[in-house]
């Protein structure tokens, strides 16, 4: 027997499991609403035109592939920081924010988690109930105890704001609070501006450590609109952690492009923070890969490509909204008497549809329509060709 002999099989990833079952399904009309990816109206993951153009420019230059600095490509870090906080913001002007390139949003969260564990080892982490399924495991694997704060109320199909605020008000100082900046995954239910005002107030007053996870900037109400909450937190003062991802907004999933930004009280404090964050990177993967970062930096800093990106992103956002509208409209016929208007109010790629586990199972077994057991559907996987079949099926299982 070796040390490997007694190792047990790890549980399967529930969402990847859906895709495996979907792939094995022989029904030509099958639909996968279980994914966390944006598909275009043809059911394909798009290659954005701005990305294609940036890539052909980069090809022309054919630069050697030396190591990047530990913190990533300087042009990328700068462009991302300006995107996230605003070039004219106080934190950028005063050099109080530091930004390091990371391996997607997940990599950014992990860097932040490892950093926090080094400098605040006894803090506990709080995530929304429910949250992105990797938040808990990720912070636990960094060594933290992870708790839930109330977030979604299935009876109102909206945020349980009183419950959330009460929980925040009872957390010990120094607690790390993970907040979805926009387009909450999995529910699609976001806070209003007024609710954010209350959250920022409690977080600041109690000395909590906000960790904003922004994986869907531009999928809610717009790039600036979705990013506003980050700027509001930055203006409130206090340490702030922000992870952001370009997986969805650039359709660059497999390139692993994201970033972690930390806001400090002064430029001098920020430089100490950066020096320590670089140690976290160095001991994990040394330095990030080049290609995705170069593509995003090129697009963000070339006016023509940036305009193109903003338009392409707007196209994705609008298409999702249209699918929300169409879903609700069509369900009025197929499921009369049932109110799905909440789906229009939800933001981002996902919807907590209210479908029960049993209904999700029937969708799968009788109609080859795959969703997550919690009732989460990916609205971005709906298109003009599959929506009627989906609505028809939902009408039958309700
Ligand atoms: N955070 C949230 C809330 C997400 O939904 C996701 C991806 O689905 C991520 C982080 C991770 O993003 P990435 O795929 O860039 O690692």
State which ligand 1 atom lies nearest to the alpha carbon of 107.
16
Rounded to the nearest whole angstrom, what is the distance from the C-alpha of residue 396 to the centroid of ligand 1? Answer: 33
**Model confidence at 168: pLDDT above 90:** yes
The predicted structure's pLDDT at residue 306: 98
**Statement: residue 376 has pLDDT above 90:** yes
Contact 243, 101 (CB under 8 A): no
To test ligand 1's pocket by mutation, which of 215, 253, 257, 347 has the most ligand atoms within 8 angstroms of CB? Answer: 215
**What letters, b where the CB count within 10 A reaches 16 and e where it falls short, cover 348-366?**
bbbbbbebeeebbebbbee
Distance CA 212, CA 257 (A): 17
Give yes or no for residue 14 having a pLDDT over 90: no
3-state DSSP: the chain helix, strand, coil percent, rounded to 5?
50, 15, 35
Say yes or no to pLDDT of 97 above 90: yes
Its pTM stands at 0.97
- Looking at residue 311, its pLDDT comes to 98
CA angle, residues 192, 197, 200, in degrees to nearest 5: 120
Q: What percent of the chain has pLDDT over 90?
A: 97
CB distance 36 to ligand 1 below 6 Å: yes
Nearest-CA neighbor of 147 among 177, 189, 169? 177
Rounded to the nearest whole angstrom, what is the distance from the C-alpha of residue 5 to the centroid of ligand 1?
34
Label the pairing between strands 257-263 and 240-245: antiparallel
Please state, in angstroms and rounded to a whole number, the distance separating the CA atoms of residues 76 and 300.
8
Report yes or no: 104 and 258 within 8 Å, Cβ to Cβ. yes
* Residue 12, pLDDT score: 83
Reply yes or no on whether the pLDDT at 112 is more than 90: yes
Q: Please report the pLDDT score of residue 65 as a whole number.
A: 94
Prediction ipTM score: 0.99
What is Dmax (Cα atoms) for the chain?
63
Is residue 161 within a helix (H) or strand (E), and if so which, with residue range?
helix 161-170
Residue 104 CA: nearest ligand 1 atom is 15
- Per-residue pLDDT of 124-157, as tens digits, reads 999 999 999 999 999 999 999 999 999 999 999 9
185 lines ligand 1 (CB under 6 A): yes
Say if CB 169 and CB 207 are below 8 A apart.
no
Q: For residue 26, what are its two tokens? A: 């022989």
User: Per residue in 104-120, is it b (16+ CB within 10 Å) or e — as a string?
Assistant: bbbbbbbbbbbbbbeeb
Q: Is the pLDDT of residue 369 over 90?
A: yes
From the CB of 104, is ligand 1 less than 6 Å away? yes
Rounded to the nearest angstrom, the distance between the alpha carbon of 106 and the centre of ligand 1 is 6
> What is the predicted pLDDT for the residue at 15?
82
pLDDT at 111: 98
Report the pLDDT value the prediction gives residue 27, as an integer from 0 to 100: 96
Listed as own residue / partner, the contacts of 331-336 with beta carbons closer than 8 Å and 24 or more positions apart are 331/391, 331/394, 331/395, 333/395, 334/391, 334/392, 334/394, 334/395, 335/394, 335/395, 335/398
CA distance 225 to 340: 25
**Probe residue for ligand 1, chosen from 35, 101, 105 as the CB with the greatest number of ligand atoms within 8 Å:** 105
Look at residue 177 and give its three-state secondary structure. Answer: strand
Tokens of 196: 């954010």
pLDDT at 390 over 90: yes
Q: Give residue 124 CA to ligand 1 midpoint distance, Å.
A: 21
Please determine, for residue 13, whether its predicted confidence score (pLDDT) is greater than 90: no
Element (H, E) at 195: helix 193-206
Read off the pLDDT of residues 281-316 as tens digits, 9 standing for 90 and up.
999 999 999 999 999 999 999 999 999 999 999 999
Report pLDDT for 163: 98
State the Cα–Cα distance between residues 167 and 157, nearest whole angstrom.
19
Tell me which residues are annotated as active site. Answer: 132, 213, 248
pLDDT at 104: 98
Question: According to the model, what pLDDT value does residue 44 have?
Answer: 97
pLDDT at 89: 97
Which carries the bigger pLDDT value, residue 171 or residue 336?
171
- Give 54 Cα–ligand 1 centroid separation in angstroms: 24
In short, whether 288's Cβ falls inside 6 Å of ligand 1 is: no
pLDDT in tens, 17-31: 899 999 999 999 999
pLDDT > 70: what percent of the chain?
Answer: 100
11 pLDDT tier (thresholds 50, 70, 90): confident
Average pLDDT over the chain, rounded to an integer: 97
pLDDT value of position 251: 98
Helices (H) and strands (E) in the chain, counts: 15, 13
């Amino acid at each position: 027997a070796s040390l490997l002999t007694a190792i047990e099989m790890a549980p399967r990833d529930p969402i990847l499991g859906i895709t495996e079952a979907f792939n094995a399904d022989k029904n030509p009309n099958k639909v996968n609403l279980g994914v966390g990816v944006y598909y275009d109206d043809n059911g394909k993951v798009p290659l954005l035109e701005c990305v294609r153009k940036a890539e052909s420019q980069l090809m022309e230059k054919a630069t050697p592939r030396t190591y990047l600095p530990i913190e990533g490509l300087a042009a990328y870090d700068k462009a991302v920081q300006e995107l996230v906080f605003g070039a004219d913001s106080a934190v950028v002007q005063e050099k109080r924010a530091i930004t390091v390139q990371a391996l997607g949003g997940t990599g950014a969260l992990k860097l932040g988690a490892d950093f926090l564990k080094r400098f605040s080892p006894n803090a506990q982490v709080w995530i929304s109930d429910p949250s992105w399924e990797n938040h808990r495991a990720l912070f636990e694997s960094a060594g933290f105890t992870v708790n839930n704060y109330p977030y979604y109320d299935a009876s109102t199909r909206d945020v349980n704001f009183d419950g959330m605020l009460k929980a925040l008000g009872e957390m010990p100082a120094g607690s790390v609070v993970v907040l979805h900046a926009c387009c909450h995954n999995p529910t699609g239910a976001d806070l209003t501006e007024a609710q954010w005002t209350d959250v920022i107030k409690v977080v600041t007053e109690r000395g909590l450590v906000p960790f904003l996870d922004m994986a869907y900037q531009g999928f809610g109400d717009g790039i600036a609109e979705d990013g506003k909450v980050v700027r509001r937190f930055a203006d409130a003062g206090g340490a702030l952690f922000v992870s952001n991802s370009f997986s969805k907004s650039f359709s660059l999933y497999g390139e692993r492009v994201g970033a972690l930004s930390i806001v400090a009280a002064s430029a001098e404090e920020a430089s100490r923070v950066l020096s320590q964050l670089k140690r976290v990177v160095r001991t994990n993967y040394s330095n990030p890969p080049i290609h995705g970062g170069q593509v995003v930096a090129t697009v963000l800093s070339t006016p023509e490509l940036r305009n193109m990106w903003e338009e392409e992103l707007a196209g994705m956002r609008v298409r999702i909204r249209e699918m929300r509208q169409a879903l609700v409209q069509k369900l009025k016929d197929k499921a009369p008497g049932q109110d799905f208007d909440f789906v229009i109010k939800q933001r981002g790629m996902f919807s907590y549809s209210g479908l029960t586990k049993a209904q999700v199972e029937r969708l799968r077994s009788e109609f080859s329509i795959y969703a997550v057991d919690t009732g989460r559907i990916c609205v971005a996987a709906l298109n003009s060709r599959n929506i009627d079949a989906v609505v028809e099926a939902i009408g039958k299982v309700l």
